[in-house]
Amino acid sequence: MEHAHRTAKSSKKGSKGNGGGAAASEPALGNQEMAELLLQEAARVEGASDDQLWLPTHKDELWFAEDGDDDGGTGTTRRQQEAKLPGLRPKHEGKEYEDFENGTAFVKGEGDAHAVDANDVKQGALGDCYLIAGMAAVARADPKLIEDLIKDNGDGTFDVTLYIRPRRYARPEPVVTTVDARLAVKYSGKPLYAGLGDKEDGKEELWTALIEKTLAQQKDSYDLISGGNINKNGFNYGGSSELLTGKRENYMPTDSMDSDEALLWIDLALEEGRSVTVSSRNLKDDEDLTREANGRNVYWNHAYAPISVDLDAETMDLQNPWGSSHVEDLSGDDFLRFYRAIRIGGGRL
């Protein structure tokens, strides 16, 4: 016998849209109200054969979804963030958001010591290398600092904390933003901006994309978090490490250092479990130097997260936030030629 089985269930899964934002907000009915409505409906269709229709004749026959159990018996209600989704870059108009239903904040990859690992980061089609490199640096310093930033609400949304200065010269304060797992996608279906991390048992790691989206949410737009725009619209940016740890970071220009000093500063910061990022110069008008630097995976106007320093060999390895094309065995002298600043921020200490 086929029944038209009506319940109080509704599905909000699999949604797509570009900036639609707010969660579906139908007026909520209490169980008693719903029971009365269904009994009224049963009375209205009286006369239909049982083969055509099943409706309850008594409220005790009704099964109602409880909060948190509204998804076909899987035990979860999938919700969407209330805030409007951040705008995409103008050149990406027409791209859509897609709900990464299998997304979870953290997945421990093979060989990783922690679920949060510096190798989880992958920059996408957005010039926010400063942020992605910062995430890698903080993850390397102390994975728990990243884990503490994201609370999985278990309903498709995440509470993400960033430390934001309320005024230019103020201490950063924690600001919690609720975001969902909808991310802008490319035609290939992969995230347009920060990529996914590890995968395991069908679960996809979202933490970098969630943090990036949260910052974009703060500024209403992904375009406004690209490198040249982060300080626009009254946003008081104090560095990616500060944003992620709440601790202010030291900006150290390399022009006043010798190579030993640069190597030692980075080595000491890594050893102390502090986040470290470095910024390359902008010398792209110099063809020979650009060819030389790009040939070493050093790209101008780009941020990197130092991985390690070999003080004996006087070299260092740097992580490229792209997730590939890392810099290996860069001498201290070349570091000074190619890089303009070191930023040392919070970490385990």
d(CA 326, CA 236) in angstroms, rounded, equals 30
If the CB atoms of residues 106 and 304 are measured against other proteins, the closer one turns out to be 304
Please report, as ranges, the residues that interact with other proteins according to CB under 8 A: 91, 122-127, 129, 186-188, 190, 192, 195, 228, 284-287, 290-291, 293-297, 299-302, 322-325
d(CA 115, CA 28) in angstroms, rounded, equals 38
Question: What's the closest the beta carbon of residue 283 comes to other proteins, in angstroms?
Answer: 9
Question: What's the closest the beta carbon of residue 315 comes to other proteins, in angstroms?
Answer: 17
Burial classification of residue 236, based on how many CB atoms lie within 10 Å of its CB (0-12 exposed, 13-18 middle, 19 or more buried): middle
Question: What's the closest the beta carbon of residue 345 comes to other proteins, in angstroms?
Answer: 22
If the CB atoms of residues 150 and 278 are measured against other proteins, the closer one turns out to be 278
If the CB atoms of residues 6 and 326 are measured against other proteins, the closer one turns out to be 326
Burial classification of residue 23, based on how many CB atoms lie within 10 Å of its CB (0-12 exposed, 13-18 middle, 19 or more buried): middle
Instruction: Specify the residue for token string 């570009």.
Output: 18
If the CB atoms of residues 169 and 187 are measured against other proteins, the closer one turns out to be 187
Question: What's the closest the beta carbon of residue 195 comes to other proteins, in angstroms?
Answer: 8
- In the beta sheet, which residues pair with residue 174? 163
- Other CB atoms closer than 10 Å to residue 69's CB: what's the count? 14
Question: What's the closest the beta carbon of residue 226 comes to other proteins, in angstroms?
Answer: 8
- In the beta sheet, which residues pair with residue 200? 203
Instruction: Specify the residue for token string 């609400």.
Output: 153
Question: What residues contact 64, with CB distance under 8 A and at least 6 apart?
Answer: 7, 8, 31, 34
Question: What's the closest the beta carbon of residue 66 comes to other proteins, in angstroms?
Answer: 41
If the CB atoms of residues 200 and 286 are measured against other proteins, the closer one turns out to be 286
The end-to-end CA distance of the chain, in Å, is 67
If the CB atoms of residues 192 and 316 are measured against other proteins, the closer one turns out to be 192
